[in-house]
Amino acid sequence: MAEQKSYHMSPEDFRRHGREVIDWIADYHENVARYPVLSRARPGEIGDSLGDEVPEDGEDFTAILQDATERILPGMTHWQSPGFHAYFPSNASGPAILGELLSAGLGVQGMLWSTGPACTEVETRVLDMLADLLGLPEAYRSTGSGGGVIQDSASSAVLCALIAARERDSGLRTNRAGCDGTQVAYCSTQAHSSLEKAMGVAGLGRANLRQIAVNERFALDPARLAAQIKADRAGGLRPIFACATLGTTSSNAIDPIAAIGRICRDEGLWFHVDAAMSGTAAICPEHRHLHDGIEYSDSYCFNPHKWMFTNFDCSCFWVADRAALIGALSILPEYLMNEATRSGAVFDYRDWQVPLGRRFRALKLWFVLRYYGVEGLRHHIRRHIELARRLVGWIEADHHFEIVAPTPLNLVCFRHLGSDELNERIMNEINGGGKIFLTHTRLNGRFVLRLCVGQSHTEAEHVERAWELIVDAAQGIRERGM
Amino acid sequence: MAEQKSYHMSPEDFRRHGREVIDWIADYHENVARYPVLSRARPGEIGDSLGDEVPEDGEDFTAILQDATERILPGMTHWQSPGFHAYFPSNASGPAILGELLSAGLGVQGMLWSTGPACTEVETRVLDMLADLLGLPEAYRSTGSGGGVIQDSASSAVLCALIAARERDSGLRTNRAGCDGTQVAYCSTQAHSSLEKAMGVAGLGRANLRQIAVNERFALDPARLAAQIKADRAGGLRPIFACATLGTTSSNAIDPIAAIGRICRDEGLWFHVDAAMSGTAAICPEHRHLHDGIEYSDSYCFNPHKWMFTNFDCSCFWVADRAALIGALSILPEYLMNEATRSGAVFDYRDWQVPLGRRFRALKLWFVLRYYGVEGLRHHIRRHIELARRLVGWIEADHHFEIVAPTPLNLVCFRHLGSDELNERIMNEINGGGKIFLTHTRLNGRFVLRLCVGQSHTEAEHVERAWELIVDAAQGIRERGM
């Protein structure tokens, strides 16, 4: 073939443009607090600026990067801003970003052990180390009957747990012949919507998810769970699965996992614990009690991509009986057969998840754990919790506001006395101001403001300012007569 | 709070360490051809080198990177090596790696339009542009009734398509009440294993996937498909879905999509087209005929992370009727409610996929399209196909070997005359040599070697050398008397 233009980026250009992007990110993080946290873009505005077709000829990378800056930044909601208090955090850090970069550079595909032994083994060992750090049961270690795997999200983790439960119950009959609408699962009314979605995806039926009533702390009531299981059995149904939440999305409620776990053990249900954000706190000895009763669980999930400085996606999922998970998800076509798989001496992680392909996500998690060390991680978690507690104190001291749910960790749920409309107006005015971003939920039918402290660079000054903005917005609205 | 050590990586350190990682990757790509393509690590070897616990104190990043190099490189199978001819490629490129880096630096969570308008709108528009470039039907555009979305893999795409089909058939009854084991789906015996896996995941039952026999070119036989659908209906079952493959994993067979599509239209089946690797070829006018009949399809998927220089994960998935997909996957809890969602003027991509969270994957794809331009992409695709054809010529000219399947594009399926054991021994000897890596499949019950040309930096010299290695290995084994 004749010598031709390669079109590829040369190693020299990669070094040069790579530095441009690294500097771009450093600049971005230095300046991120200046941007309006919630994007002010109107629907279609960003898209309309992009043009309609792929260019015929390639463009210079520096020009592309410049163009991206101009078109994309106005359409960003800045999750890495210290003023981001909405939803749950999705915090990032230098070592995680560089771990993701290294993973992209290696471009390894970890679907099988043999297609990337390091990709598999770093993941297995890092999750073993994390299981120790979190105080998870011995069964969750790869050296025991179980093991850990990184999923893209807690939604995918709960789906995998649900499918493993479904197949354990049916002896793989549902995998072969399909569901029959008789298997039922349990969670609280406050559990994450991903479980209801997973019931639909898995063919079990959303209506077969029993959402058990909660107590005054928004935690699942075990007595009602036990009663519902008995009622369902009496109705000819097959209870297969229960999910407890450590830190619900709505209000950070902590379900009583020991009590729920004993019921699951007695009734033969698969017991999944969803600690997506709040599990991180268990790395601190003073919060380890969150996991009291975890020995009853069959699976557990928490997301370093929420509150442990590791870029999305990185959701850590453990099972106590890996054979149950693998049995439910394994398929082995000839073109993926290899010596290592045949030997049984390795994990092929494609059998631990829904997709086949997977990238080297353990690298960024390993970098974060080593760069921060246990003490560095604990320092930040403790600081966030302390800042949330201070905010609770200020709210309690202000007679215009009330705390409406317990604050076990870093999420504060509160409202201004008065109507839902007033609270929604306060929220919209604050978010429109651009300095912070917070979101809402409904508790006991009322519109409630949520302020989560979990961004990597959120410091005391940011939480103090957030409270000032809330107080000022409320006062302004009161004075304008609503 | 008292002034304390922050533990975070400072912007200055990020710039410094970022350059280290960029240089590391540039060095790696310059040297990747020197490493054994298939890792020689033994099971447990990499893991055992990692230590048992998270360090108490943080470590220096440069030391971590150095340590990673020493421990990880021996455990890599080098997918970015020009000697990688196994499975399908998972090729990468400079602009894609830097796009992934920028996405990690922005750390935006694109689950809803409002949580990252640019993240959503760049994706929508880039997939519209790609639909044009591939010659996909007007219905697949966001400006029509459908639209595109990036999934992590073709496995997840086919799962979403299958669930949309399931719900279209049942009028959302299965989503609510669960499956009943009566819905059946169709593909060829050569379709990817992900469809069988998806049948299990979705509660439809793997046994309800009908794997239709193929013709002598390993392509689905439409007459047998039509007959099976009629037989299933006569048996009281509900045919809901068929998948055609453009480029099967095993042998790159091309199913006749126009004929299959007409059957699906007449029978009311959802018609999904899986073009995971081979769809990329349709960007070349001379290969556009691959898509003849695509107007009958309800959904289509191809993976830029296979053969279009875009790092994993980036699987592009289009549907002609987005309402069917969204209806099957949507859940809207209060804490995700917002003005933009309520307005109906935006896409919330969480309703187009199984997980809730999502990162800004469109950025790397946008960078690749702009950096290469249409001509740059076509240049490489054409070069790979040309190299595969040359290899076919050499194989055909060697009386020891035979071609065992058509070579429509870049995958060559061949075998040495003689036993399966001989062919497996040739493969193992070549892979053990470390210069190239190829894998096998079975066709008509025989062990077959597969050599795929699709790595970003695979040039004529690499394919020439691969053929020499194969010839030499075969000759050596023959001379040693097997």
Regarding whether A172 and A63 lie in a shared domain, the answer is no
Q: Which residue range is the domain that position A57 belongs to?
A: 12-78
Regarding whether A74 and A134 lie in a shared domain, the answer is no
A482 pLDDT band, cuts 50/70/90, is low
List the 39-78 stretch of B: residues with Cβ below 8 A of A: 39, 41, 43-47, 50, 52-59, 61, 64-65, 68, 71-78
Q: The CATH number of the domain where A73 resides is what?
A: 1.20.1340.10
Residue A229 lies in a domain: yes
* pLDDT higher than threshold 90 for residue B304: yes
Q: Which residue of A has its CA nearest to B121?
A: A47
**CB spacing of B101 vs A97 below 8 angstroms:** yes
Regarding whether A295 and A172 lie in a shared domain, the answer is yes
Rg (CA), chain A: 24
Regarding whether A320 and A175 lie in a shared domain, the answer is yes
What residues in A contact B379, CB-CB < 8 Å?
Answer: 4-5, 7
Regarding whether A256 and A222 lie in a shared domain, the answer is yes
B307-363 per-position pLDDT tens digit: 999 999 999 999 999 999 999 999 888 877 888 888 888 999 999 999 999 999 999
What is the C-alpha to C-alpha distance for residues A456 and A477, in angstroms, rounded to an integer? 32
* pLDDT higher than threshold 60 for residue A3: no
pLDDT of residue B2: 42
Looking at CA atoms only, how far is residue B110 from chain A in angstroms? 9
Strand A183-188 and strand A209-212: the pairing is parallel
Q: Which among A76, A311, A359 has CB closest to B313?
A: A359
What residues in B contact A105, CB-CB < 8 Å?
Answer: 21, 24-25, 28-29, 92, 97
Taking residues B264-279, report their average pLDDT. Answer: 98
B42-66 per-position pLDDT tens digit: 999 999 999 889 999 999 999 999 9
Task: Find out whether B420 and B475 touch, Cβ atoms under 8 Å.
Answer: no
Taking residues B188-197, report their average pLDDT. Answer: 97
Mean pLDDT over all residues of chain B? Answer: 96
What is the C-alpha to C-alpha distance for residues B80 and B370, in angstroms, rounded to an integer? 22
Say whether residue B221 is in contact with chain A using an 8 A CB cutoff: no
With a CB cutoff of 8 Å and minimum separation 6, the contacts of A125 are A142, B47, B50
Among A366, A388, A422, residue at a domain's last position: A366
**CB spacing of B26 vs A9 below 8 angstroms:** no
Regarding whether A292 and A260 lie in a shared domain, the answer is yes
Regarding whether A348 and A264 lie in a shared domain, the answer is yes
* pLDDT higher than threshold 60 for residue A88: yes
* pLDDT higher than threshold 80 for residue A131: yes
Taking residues A395-409, report their average pLDDT. Answer: 98
pLDDT of residue B332: 81
* pLDDT higher than threshold 50 for residue B409: yes
DSSP string, B251-278: T--B--HHHHHHHHHHHT-EEEEE-TTG
A348-372 per-position pLDDT tens digit: 999 999 999 999 999 999 999 999 9
* pLDDT higher than threshold 50 for residue B1: no
Looking at CA atoms only, how far is residue B286 from chain A in angstroms? 17
Q: Closest by alpha carbon to A246, among A284, A208, A220, A209?
A: A220
B373-386 per-position pLDDT tens digit: 999 999 999 999 99
Q: Which among A5, A178, A208 has CB closest to B181?
A: A178
Regarding whether A151 and A28 lie in a shared domain, the answer is no
Residue A136 lies in a domain: yes
**CB spacing of A50 vs B8 below 8 angstroms:** no
* pLDDT higher than threshold 50 for residue A201: yes
Q: Which among B8, B38, B163 has CB closest to A93?
A: B8
Q: Which among B52, B313, B374 has CB closest to A129?
A: B52
Percent of chain A with pLDDT over 90: 94
Q: What is the DSSP letter of B351?
A: G
Q: Which among B98, B183, B363 has CB closest to A18?
A: B98
What is the C-alpha to C-alpha distance for residues A154 and B109, in angstroms, rounded to an integer? 14
List the 254-313 stretch of A: residues with Cβ below 8 A of B: 305, 311-313
**CB spacing of A14 vs B97 below 8 angstroms:** yes
What residues in A contact B177, CB-CB < 8 Å?
Answer: 181, 205, 207-208
A58-71 per-position pLDDT tens digit: 999 999 999 999 99
Regarding whether A120 and A56 lie in a shared domain, the answer is no
**CB spacing of A179 vs B179 below 8 angstroms:** yes
Q: Closest by alpha carbon to B236, among B182, B168, B186, B171?
A: B182
Among A347, A366, A385, residue at a domain's last position: A366
Percent of chain B with pLDDT over 70: 99
B463-472 per-position pLDDT tens digit: 999 999 999 9
Q: Closest by alpha carbon to A9, among B96, B24, B425?
A: B96
Among A318, A348, A366, residue at a domain's last position: A366
B4 pLDDT band, cuts 50/70/90, is low
**CB spacing of B178 vs A312 below 8 angstroms:** no
**CB spacing of B116 vs A77 below 8 angstroms:** yes
Residue B286 lies in a domain: yes
Q: Which residue of B has its CA nearest to A359?
A: B312
Q: Which residue of A has its CA nearest to B104?
A: A97
Probe site for chain A from B335, B382, B389 (most A CB atoms < 10 A): B335
pLDDT of residue A5: 77
Q: Closest by alpha carbon to A200, among B24, B164, B346?
A: B164
Looking at CA atoms only, how far is residue A271 from chain B in angstroms? 19
Probe site for chain B from A73, A152, A302, A423 (most B CB atoms < 10 A): A152
Say whether residue B177 is in contact with chain A using an 8 A CB cutoff: yes
What are the strands of the beta sheet with A411-416, ordered from one edge? A401-403, A411-416, A446-452, A439-443
List the 133-162 stretch of A: residues with Cβ below 8 A of B: 133, 152-156, 159
Quote the strand ranges of A226-385, DSSP E.
238-245, 270-274, 299-302, 315-319
Regarding whether A104 and A73 lie in a shared domain, the answer is no
Count how many domains chain A has.
2
Regarding whether A107 and A164 lie in a shared domain, the answer is yes
What is the C-alpha to C-alpha distance for residues A453 and A407, in angstroms, rounded to an integer? 11
Probe site for chain A from B97, B127, B167, B352 (most A CB atoms < 10 A): B97
What residues in B contact A115, CB-CB < 8 Å?
Answer: 77, 79, 86-87
Say whether residue A33 is in contact with chain B using an 8 A CB cutoff: no
pLDDT of residue A481: 77
Regarding whether A55 and A103 lie in a shared domain, the answer is no
Say whether residue A193 is in contact with chain B using an 8 A CB cutoff: yes
**CB spacing of A90 vs B107 below 8 angstroms:** yes
What are the strands of the beta sheet with A238-245, ordered from one edge? A147-151, A315-319, A299-302, A270-274, A238-245, A183-188, A209-212
Residue B464 lies in a domain: no
* pLDDT higher than threshold 90 for residue A111: yes
Task: Find out whether B33 and B436 touch, Cβ atoms under 8 Å.
Answer: no
ipTM: 0.97
Say whether residue B354 is in contact with chain A using an 8 A CB cutoff: yes
Looking at CA atoms only, how far is residue B105 from chain A in angstroms? 6
B121-170 per-position pLDDT tens digit: 999 999 999 999 999 999 999 999 999 999 999 999 999 999 999 999 99
Task: Find out whether B154 and B192 touch, Cβ atoms under 8 Å.
Answer: yes
Say whether residue A439 is in contact with chain B using an 8 A CB cutoff: yes
Which residue type does A273 have? V
Say whether residue A236 is in contact with chain B using an 8 A CB cutoff: no
A155 pLDDT band, cuts 50/70/90, is very high
Say whether residue A318 is in contact with chain B using an 8 A CB cutoff: no
Q: Which among A105, A179, A335 has CB closest to B97?
A: A105
Strand B299-302 and strand B315-319: the pairing is antiparallel
- Global pTM? 0.97
Distance of CA B227 to the CA centre of its chain: 31
Taking residues B245-270, report their average pLDDT. Answer: 98
Task: Find out whether B215 and B233 touch, Cβ atoms under 8 Å.
Answer: no
**CB spacing of B15 vs A26 below 8 angstroms:** yes
Residue A330 lies in a domain: yes
Number of A–B residue contacts, CB under 8 Å:
572
Q: Closest by alpha carbon to B273, among B251, B249, B302, B253?
A: B302
Residue B459 lies in a domain: no
Q: The CATH number of the domain where B309 resides is what?
A: 3.40.640.10
* pLDDT higher than threshold 80 for residue B244: yes
Q: Which among A46, A78, A119 has CB closest to B122?
A: A46
Residue A378 lies in a domain: no
Residue B69 lies in a domain: no
Q: Which residue of B has its CA nearest to A124?
A: B47
pLDDT of residue B3: 46
List the 443-462 stretch of A: residues with Cβ below 8 A of B: 450, 456-457, 459-460
What is the C-alpha to C-alpha distance for residues B82 and B459, in angstroms, rounded to an integer? 7
What is the C-alpha to C-alpha distance for residues B278 and B284, in angstroms, rounded to an integer? 11
DSSP string, A122-189: HHHHHHHHHHHHHT--GGGSTTTT-EEEEES-HHHHHHHHHHHHHHHHHTTHHHHH---S-EEEEEET
